Structure 1
């Protein structure tokens, strides 16, 4: 039994929307925990996708990268974080930055568990649940690994800045003004594919082995 066109859209659309929006909400929640109320005051600590969706970054661009077979690439409206409001700005930056990729790991595990329990669903839904489970794992692992690349302004870049000694952290943070351009070049030259795809495959196999 094949999926309908609407089911095929749902297989990718729901995991993409929630992968990106939960990622952003996690940043805001952890920032609030460590003392920055910027996102909280703007009502951005929410699991309502409508508060985070960027039409291009959350819908159009991820859909194109999935259709073209490249690394999933996209973004939501960034949750505002004022690192200077954190109780220990440099140290706490690590936890705020890591919250997004960690949320994607948790969601990847959730989708793996769903995939492994697909037989418990009605027979008419089994294929849909299996494909959504695989899509959810792939999407969340893609975003997790992409964001952990140590390139400002990605989360991995902020983690690196947090861990580096002050004099090196300041210099490395200056890379942020060129970070997006560097990322686009890596994406267009498919260098990003060579880095990310093997890590996604290894991570997905491990998660399926443990949780499915």
Structure 2
């Protein structure tokens, strides 16, 4: 399959990216509500409406910039507000609320993988539909696998950092929480040095491997990541 044009690449990446970050944040709010905190619900954040979650920088500028520089979209939405004091068991429930986001990304990766499978089945009779379904599905799988792996990194304020905090004894948890002020700088340094990719890609690859149509997804990833043709 030949490379994609810029318009084609944007067409297959934009929708999966919006859903990936929107559902991720909505899942945090949904879990917090179930565990006793309705802050996100009262602010209208337990919703799949992307407008409620859009961050001008993280949802628009960063994904476009990342795409132009790397050919791959990456970004974030406005964090869902959670009042930890309202949770029934704040320390434990913090970890559960944090895990809801990556869990939502894993579920979405599964849904997008099923789209790849459906697209492959329709190729024989509806190639005009099957190919776009497959390519958008692959983009959806990749974006959600990357966001899940990234957010599971044990660095506050990432979700993995929240999980570690919830598991540590109180004294050690307080010491660990001090890393939050430097968390984003740590991630940026890891990104620039290549350490982040070295750590993330094994989990991304494992996630893709356990999904339906994993062989087809793996084959098509180079197609959607290849430089856009003019």
- TM-score, scaled to structure 1: 0.92
Q: 1 CA distance for matches of 2:74 and 2:128? A: 32
Report the CA distance shift for 1:125/1:7 in structure 2 as closer, same or farther (over 3 A).
farther
Give SS of 1:175's match. Answer: helix
**Residue number in structure 1 paired with 2:141:** 137
Q: How do residues 177-192 of structure 1 correspond to structure 2 at under 5 angstroms?
A: 177-192=181-196
Give SS of 1:102's match. Answer: helix
**Residue number in structure 2 paired with 1:88:** 89
Q: What are structure 2's unaligned runs of at least 5 residues? A: 217-230
**Residue number in structure 2 paired with 1:203:** 207
Q: 2 CA distance for matches of 1:30 and 1:197? A: 28
Q: 2 CA distance for matches of 1:71 and 1:171? A: 35
Q: How do residues 72-111 of structure 1 correspond to structure 2 at under 5 angstroms?
A: 73-111=74-112
Q: 2 CA distance for matches of 1:106 and 1:21? A: 13
* Aligned 8 A contact 1:11 1:135 in 2: yes
1:211, distance to aligned residue in structure 2 (A): 11
Q: 2 CA distance for matches of 1:140 and 1:60? A: 19
**Residue number in structure 1 paired with 2:220:** none
Post-superposition CA distance 1:102-140 (Å, at most 9, x none):
000000000001101112373212111111111000000
* Aligned 8 A contact 1:141 1:200 in 2: yes
**Residue number in structure 2 paired with 1:168:** 172
Report the CA distance shift for 1:182/1:72 in structure 2 as closer, same or farther (over 3 A).
farther
* Aligned 8 A contact 2:105 2:147 in 1: yes
* Aligned 8 A contact 2:13 2:73 in 1: no
Give SS of 1:207's match. Answer: coil
* Aligned 8 A contact 2:24 2:100 in 1: yes
Structure 1 stretches of 4+ moved >2 Å: 1-8, 62-73, 119-122, 208-212
Q: 2 CA distance for matches of 1:210 and 1:105? A: 14
**Residue number in structure 2 paired with 1:32:** 33
1:200, distance to aligned residue in structure 2 (A): 1.1
1:5, distance to aligned residue in structure 2 (A): 4.9
- TM-score, scaled to structure 2: 0.85
Q: How do residues 108-127 of structure 1 correspond to structure 2 at under 5 angstroms?
A: 108-118=109-119, 119-120=121-122, 122-127=126-131
